[in-house]
Amino acid sequence: MGWNSAHEIFNPVAKALQDTGADDTTKRKVLGDLIGNLQGNDWDTEDESLEDFLDDPAIVQAFADHDVHLSDRRCCRRELGIGPREALLRMRHEDIEEDDMARAVDTFAHHLADQIREDTTVMGEAGDQYALLYADLIDPEAQR
């Protein structure tokens, strides 16, 4: 039988760490240990707590470290240390909303455009002009 009230332990601790300005490493370690212990006591509603803290990548990563993900994988694009391409690949799931996927694609396109802009220094002068033009064309955030 599962334990579904462990969020009453986890959520206040996570909130206190946020409120006190704990750094990401501390949040990931403390909450990761707590998640592991609560899972050891048969916590079966971790996803509900994860959903409450989707705005904090360190907390999302603590859950990911313990194989806790939302069924629609919205959490994956918020994990620490992954780039837009990896986030997009992790979102390949039938339950992903179209708006979420569109945002992920736009984020990836913006990332590619930024990479092109950074790489223009190794191209010649003519290459710079074309590269910047192409970067602006694929970047959903570019001024048109």
pLDDT at 13: 96
Range of the domain at 21: 1-83
- Residues 76, 5 share a domain: yes
Residue 92 lies in a domain: no
Q: Enumerate the β-bridge partners of residue 43.
A: 3
- pLDDT tens sequence across 20-55: 999 999 999 999 999 999 999 889 889 899 989 988
pLDDT tens sequence across 74-110? 677 666 566 667 766 666 666 667 777 777 778 777 8
Higher pLDDT, 93 or 60: 60
Q: What percent of the chain has pLDDT over 70?
A: 72
By the 8 A CB rule, do 25 and 64 touch?
no
As for how many domains the chain has, the answer is 2
Residue 56 and residue 105 in one domain:
no
How far lies 141's CA from each of 14, 83, 102, 136, in Å?
33, 18, 13, 8
Residues, the chain, total?
144
Same domain, 1 and 57: yes
Q: Which residues contact 105 (CB under 8 A, 6 or more apart)?
A: 88
